[in-house]
């Protein structure tokens, strides 16, 4: 026995066609919503990874600078730096030493 659609009424075909179209439309909306959720999740994950890497980088630089500053503060140099070499005085402008005067 062959399946013959000519025996089915037009109203029944329209009804089932409408149901099929509604199902396809609902399926499309569900797939689009799922894709949007996936994209939002990937965006949040990439933002979290980027923020974590940058925060770790900043904290690493801060820690390295802190170690360097504490090491530099603990080092004692064997001599003292003289303010001016003996016998050589720098020209003074009065109030501000070591400032060269320019022509006005």
Cα–Cα distances (Å) from 36 to 11, 32, 64, 85, in that order, read: 37, 6, 42, 73
pLDDT tens digits for range 42-91: 999 999 999 999 999 999 999 999 999 888 877 776 665 555 556 556 55
Confidence of residue 41 (pLDDT cuts 50, 70, 90): very high
Structure tokens at 23: 């199902």
Q: Are 100 and 91 in contact (CB under 8 A)?
A: yes
- Residue whose pair of structure tokens reads 């980088």 in the numeric block: 57
- The percent of residues above 90 in pLDDT, for the chain, comes to 55
């Amino acid at each position: 026995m062959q399946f013959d659609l000519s025996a089915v009424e037009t109203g029944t075909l329209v009804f089932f066609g409408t149901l099929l179209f509604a199902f396809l439309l609902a399926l499309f909306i569900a797939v689009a919503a799922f894709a949007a959720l996936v994209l939002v999740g990937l965006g949040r994950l990439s933002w979290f990874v980027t923020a974590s890497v940058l925060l770790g980088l900043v904290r690493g630089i801060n820690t390295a600078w802190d170690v360097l500053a504490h090491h530099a503060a603990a080092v004692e140099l064997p001599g003292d730096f003289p303010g001016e070499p003996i016998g050589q005085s720098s020209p003074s402008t009065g109030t501000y030493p070591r400032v060269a005067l320019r022509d006005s």
